[in-house]
Structure 1
Amino acid sequence: MKALVCSAFGPIADLRPGTLPDPVPGEGQVLIEVKAASVNFPDALIVQGRYQVRPELPFAPGAEAAGVVRALGPGVQGFSVGDTVVASTGHGAFAELCLAQAAKVSRLPQGMDFEHGAAFVLTYGTSLHALQQVGRLQAGETLLVLGAAGGVGLAAIEIGRALGARVIAAASSEEKLALCRRSGADATIDYTQPEWRRRVEALTDGQGADVVYDAVGGVHAEPALRATAWRGRYLVVGFAAGEIPRLPLNLALLKERQILGVFWGEAMRRDPAQHEANMAQLGRWFEQGLLRPAITERVPLDHAAAAIQRLADRQAMGKLVVLPGADA
C-alpha cells in the first residue's frame, strides 16, 4: 500500500512517500481504508522519536483517520465491513490502509463527510475530555484558550460554547484571532503583546479565567496561570511552543488554583466507556450544528511531510487534512 514512511527516527524532512505491507487486523483490531487523515502535533514528535510511544520501524505516522471498514480482527463486535467510521490510530493513518483498536473506532456522525471526520476524533476528543472530565467547566464560567487557532484550540472554543461558558481565545496574530472569532470566541487576545494577562483580568472584572486550556506551554504558561481565578483550574494539555515551563507553585497556593494534567490517550485506554460516551456527545453536537472542524488545508499523501513540518513550526491554523487517494 502507499504510505508516508518513517524509516528512522529523525527530522520530519526525512519522511518519504513509499510503500508498506498491507496491515492485517489482529485481536480486537479494525482494518480501515483511509479516505482522509489529519495532521496533529504528536505526528511531529513521534517521527522524531520524541513521543511517549515509539512504533516499530518502518511505520506511517498519522494519529486519526476517517474511512471505510474493510476487515475485522478476531473478537471485534459492533462493526461490519463497509461501515463508515472515524478512529484514533496512534500512528498509521497517512496510508491507504490503517489499523485501529475497536475501542478507539466510532461511527462517522450523521451528515459528516470523511474530511471533517478525519479532523474530529483527536482534537475534539481531547478538548471535551479536558474541559468536561478534567476541568469540570460549568455553564456561566469563563474559559481562556491558549493556542486557540490550532486544532485542539478551535475545538476547545466550540466545546466551551456548547457547555455554556464564555470563551476568551488567545493566539499570536490577527489572522489567527479572526479565525477564533469565526469559531465562536466571545473575546480575543494577542498573547505576543506585553502584559497580555492584564487583558484577561479586564475582560473578567479582575477575577481571572475559571478554566485555562493550555496546549502551548513555554513563556505563555506563567502569565496564563497568573490570569487564573480563585480556585480556577489550569489544564496542562501540551507544549506546542517546544518548551516545558517551570511554574512557581506559590501561584497555585495564593488563589487555591489547581494545576491539572490532561492525557486523553491514557484516559481513553483506562475508561473506554467514557470515551464512547464523549464521542456520542460530540456527534450529537455536530448534528445540531454546534461543532464543525475548521479545515484550512487539504493535501495529498506526497505533501504530508511538509504539512507536518508547517504544524510543528506553528505556521498552520485549524486542521490540515491528508487525502491518501488524491493526486499530488
Structure 2
Amino acid sequence: MDLEARASILRAGIAAPSADNSQPWRFAWSGDDLDIHIDADRSGSVSDTRHVLSDLAAGACMENMIIHARSLGFDADVATFPHQDDPQWVAHIHWHPALVPARSEPLATAIEQRHTDRRFPWRGPIDANTRERLAAQARQIPGQRLYWPTSPYERKLALRIIRTAETLRFKSPKLHAELFSSVRFSTGWRNTCEEGLAPATLAVEPPMRPIFQALRHPAVMRAFNHLGTATLLGWRSAYLPIRLSPGLCVCVMPSDERQDVLACGRALQRVWLEATVAGLSVQPYAAPGVLSLGFVPVEPAFLQTCSQLRVDLDKLCGPGHGLVFLRLGYARSAPQHRSGRRAPASFDTAP
C-alpha cells in the first residue's frame, strides 16, 4: 500500500461522524498495518463515560476506511480491542490486496457527501424498498439491526423517549455544560469550524439565536428552566422535527459491551451512507440510548429518568439495546453549512 492510498483511507476515516464533532481518533501506521486509538484529550466527557460515544465514532470511522479501501482494491483483517491493558486501543487493521480487482463501491461515493441535517420539516414518504435497503446495510455487521417504529403506539413511545432525553440535556447541569461546551459561538452564525459545532450547523431560527446563545450560561439556563424552557427545547429539538418527518428508525445492538458499541458504529455508518445514496437527509439522536445505558453520571434527581428510558427502549425495540435513533426524510436542498474536520496531521499519524 503506497502513501497515497494510506492518505486516502485516512481521509475517509476522518470524514466519519462523531458526537458533537469531537473527532476522538488517533491513528498510527506501521507498514500496511493501522492502529486506531481513542484520543484521550477528546473523549471521556460526561456522556462518553466508558467511551460509549467514542467507540461509536471509532466504529463509524473504521467502516468508512474499510469501504473506501475496497474501492481501491484492498481488504482488511480487523482485530478489535487487541490489548486488554489498553482500553483506548480500539482496533488493529492489516490491509492487503483484495482477491478481486478494485470495484465500484456505491457507499464509498457517499463518504464525503454524508452530513447531519438538523433542518425541518422533511418530505416523504420513504418507501418499503428504501427502508429494506437501509436495514440490509445494518445487517451487514453481525448482530446489528435496524428497527422501524411503525404503529401509532410505537411512534408515540419513540417520540416520548427522544423528547425525554433531549429535555434532560438542558435540565441536567452536567449535560447542559457538556452540550454548550461543544458549540463554538466564537465562529459566529455564518461560519463553520474544523472541530466542535459551529452555531450555523444547528438550524436555530434567527429570532431564537440570542436566547439560545444566552442559555449557555448556567444561571440563565436555571432561570429559564423555572419557566419550562428545557421542556420547550426538547419539544423543538426532538418532538416537532420527528413528528413532521416521514421516517424514524433506531440502530439496535445485542448488548452494551464495547465490542457491540463499536459494531453499532459500523452499522450506523453503513445505514447513513446508504441513506445518502438514496437522497435522504439524516439527523441522529444518540442521547436516549446513551443515557439509558446507566453509565452517564447524571445528578441523582435524574437517575430515575434514565432508568425509565431503558425500560421504554426495551419495550420499543427489545431484544437488544437501541443506541441511536435516525430521523429521515427528503430535504428540498442541501444544508448551507456543514461541520468541518481537522487536518490529517493533527491526528498523530505516522508515515
Please report the TM-score for the alignment, with normalisation by the length of structure 1.
0.24
From the two aligned structures, give the one with the greater helix fraction.
2
From the two aligned structures, give the one with the greater strand fraction.
1
